[in-house]
Structure 1
Amino acid sequence: MIRLSDPLLRLARSPRTLDALVWLLIMIPLLSAQRMPGGEEQATGIPLLWTQIAAVPLLALACWYARRAPLLAAAVPIALGLAATPELFTNNFTFAQVILCFLLGRRSGATRGPLLLFVAAAVTGLVLLSIVPGASVPGWGTLLLTLLFGGVLPWLVGRYARQQAELVRTGWELAERLEREQELVADRMRLRERSRIAGDMHDSLGHELGLIALRAAALQVSPRLDDADRTSAAELREAAATATERLREIIGVLREDGEDAPVHPADDTIEALVKRARDSGMAVTLEQPGDAGSPLPPMADRALYRVVQEALTNAAKHAPGAAVTVTLRRTNGTAEVAVANEPPPAGPLPSAAVSGGYGLVGLDERVRLAGGTLHAQPVDSGFEVKARLPVTPGAAATPPREYVSQRELAAARRKVHRGILDAIWIPIAGTIAIAVVLYGFNIYTSYRSVLDADTYADLHIGRPEHTVEQHLPAYQADDDTRPEHAPPDPPGTDECRFYRTTAWSLDPAYRLCFTDGRLSHKGKVKTQP
């Protein structure tokens, strides 16, 4: 019975509903900002109003495509932040950068793309800072720190959350695998006992056949047929019937419970199997590069057939509608088959047959007994099953696969621990590196902003500004900005510049003021309260 609340529940649980909530969340800083002045321009020269208007649909598209293209989605708020200010730090878009960079790490395991995005953002910001008037070295530090804590750190936290989820999923998969292996051990014991029963029945059948041969020999040496001979013939008929009944029992014992008789002949080919799958509606292609070579040994041929059969079944179940490619090749005395399926297309999934979950485990045993190896793993958002077997008859079985559950779980845990360490040491190391660079540059500019006392004494009032500039240091006292506690400029002056008297102090400082392109005032002033 369909309840009225079911559509609402489906809507609430829909991924698109979550995307809409994320968009509303990152729009809060933008909508709660102060009045959007139409004529006010940002440091980049772009009107603030147009940037805010463009951000509404761009952030909506970023949230909409954040699942399919998380890298592109994370680039949108970074680009908007750079359009607002070369320093990247802005109340409007920093929160969106944090959220979408976190989702980038949570939804994508790639590292090259995000690193290139952060490097490109840093380079773009530094270029803008170098060409925007009034930019300074602290602006570079703000850019790098914002990119570090607003982009790199959330991305690392997202990667840690992704790895933690993969660890939990790996643990459940290993637990499920162990449970299946326990069931397979029980099945193997039952099959072993059935084999013993079959052996006993085989011995019994041999005994019965021996009695038939004995009675047949007695008939051969009999000079004539009498009542005794006819009795022997009757006994021969009864023994033959008994042997036939025993054979029927053996065939029944060796068949699995509930197993139907084979639909296709034992010598069915992979080509016929692929054709039947294609005729049933599966988008499957068969590729056979190179020479097919001589026929395979029966054990290897049946193993390859079962690999393709099981892989096509799994593709139909777990990736319905996806394109499947079956590749057969012969190289260096080995035969190899690979069955790879692409990710399923978007949309509702059609119903698929349900399997017992033992296919790959059984395939691995079959391929191993044929002297080959089997690998099954995700590839490029799809899945691939690959088997390689020797083409020489009588190949020795491959040693049993090592029990790897604990090792896989330990590897997943190490990956998560590395994610934690990356989320800690990379921001710390980046902060230290930025602080060292800024401190070093501050020391450099401190020495390059010192005005020599003799040079200061030679600067006379009334000299043209361009001739005075030839004798001035490359930098001013406080990073080319006016010291916070400097006295007011003399009335009527156009510009005042401040230079250090010593490299390690701003107080006192030399002040040079210009009016109409000439030096109008000079003096030593206090810049500290």
Structure 2
Amino acid sequence: MRMRAWIGRAFPGPWRWKLAVREVLGGLLVCGLAALFQAGDSGGWPSGLVVGACAVLFALRRGLPGPVLVVSAAGVGGPAGFLPVLVVAGYSAGRRISRPWRTPAVLGLGFLATVGVGLLQNGRDHFPLPVLLGLCVAGYLLTGVLPAVVGRYRAQRVALLDSLRERNTQLLRERVMIARQARLRERHRIAQDMHDSLGHQLALIAVHTGALEVDRTLGEQQREAVAVLRQAATGAMRELREVVGLLREDTATAPGGVDAIDRLAETSRAAGARIELRHLGTPRPLPAPTGHAAYRIAQEGLTNAHKHAPGTAIELTVRYEPDTLVVEVVNGPGGDGTAAVSGGQGLTGLRERARLLGGMVHSGPLPDGGFRLAGMLPYTAEGARAALPDDEELALLAGELVEPEKRRRSPAVGCALGALAVLGVVAAVAALGAIMFVSSLRDATVPTRLYDAVEVGQSEQSVNERLPVGSEFLTQDFRRIGPPLPEGAHCRWFAGDREGDDQDVVRFCFKDGLLVEKQHFHGKV
């Protein structure tokens, strides 16, 4: 179990195929670059060993970013093939080390490892200590610290975006809850007003028509008309109670339905209308909002026909199509049917109701002077859910941008300042290195005029007083070229100022405190 825990920590998942492909391709790229860098390194390190170590470090960088960064930084102090893996390790350390104090600590340990290994390798390279420190600082800042700053910015940006999305979602939920509470309060107020005003008036109508129905002074035809009025008042009270219940309770079933269309037609027939009701197709279950919308379309069509074309024949059709329910009301000529369109808000409300359900309503006059109202409603419950106020409101709110109460500073500012600081230090080190190089080149060069002025046989002290201080770093390769050294003599090498394809070298050899030889020659270093 402990071994499995260590493996899980070193190679964190989940390992999806995209991540696996990305890791394999990234490892191949890093190993290829490591092989190229190592091919140009003359330090004598085995390329296979360096490339293999880079592959292992690349595989471990996600689970162990700190140790991998320190080891990679130490490796850069020796073989040059560790440079690509150091860049990747720096990015992983900046992105995956979450605690603020750990990232500077790991970067500091990496720098110390680079300098320590560089000092051990300096016996081979013979760099002056200031040059070595400058190379370590500039190289480590560019290949280790700068990628870590980029990785840190990436991690902070992802964390900030996740936090903003979570906060935005929470604010949306809170706004929906507030809107729902306000809607419920308004619904209760409207329901109370409807119950107190319309309910009272309809109850009075029902009571008076009931009294008239038993009045012996009325004729049979008049009693039938009063009975129709009483039934209409009773039906209106029943629908009013259903509407009030719907307003007071969000989960209440919508009043009316396809089955209620038959009662609606019977009531119109009792009032003297000529109605032909047809049911076509195979009936199927419908969501409550869809059934109620069908009922309202039929009700609006019959109301408009009674109002604007009284006495004309009416055709009411309920047709079950393969994908939609069609409710159609057609009345013959007998009045200006278009007045129904412009006289009120009934058709406008029907169109909005059908739109929320995913359907549509069409209305217009017929060539023979009649009028047609048809609604097409979907069967699916997904379309019916669009009619719910919560879903519609949530869809509207989701499209809004919730501005944060307090402006937050973007992580890009801090990371950009860090990157600028790194580049500034590198630029300063590069400028200082350039100045030191020019100074060292001047100290390692003997002009031809000075070379001619020095004569063999002069004392070593007087010659050294006239010669520049020299630079072991710049002239160490001059020892491999030129004539053999005089036996028992010690020599100093300088660069000459004569131009040519080969290196211009000046050599002064001393023995027993005297200048015994001076040489001016050219050669390939």
TM-score, normalization by structure 2: 0.43
Structure (1/2) with the larger helix percentage: 2
Greater Rg by CA: 2
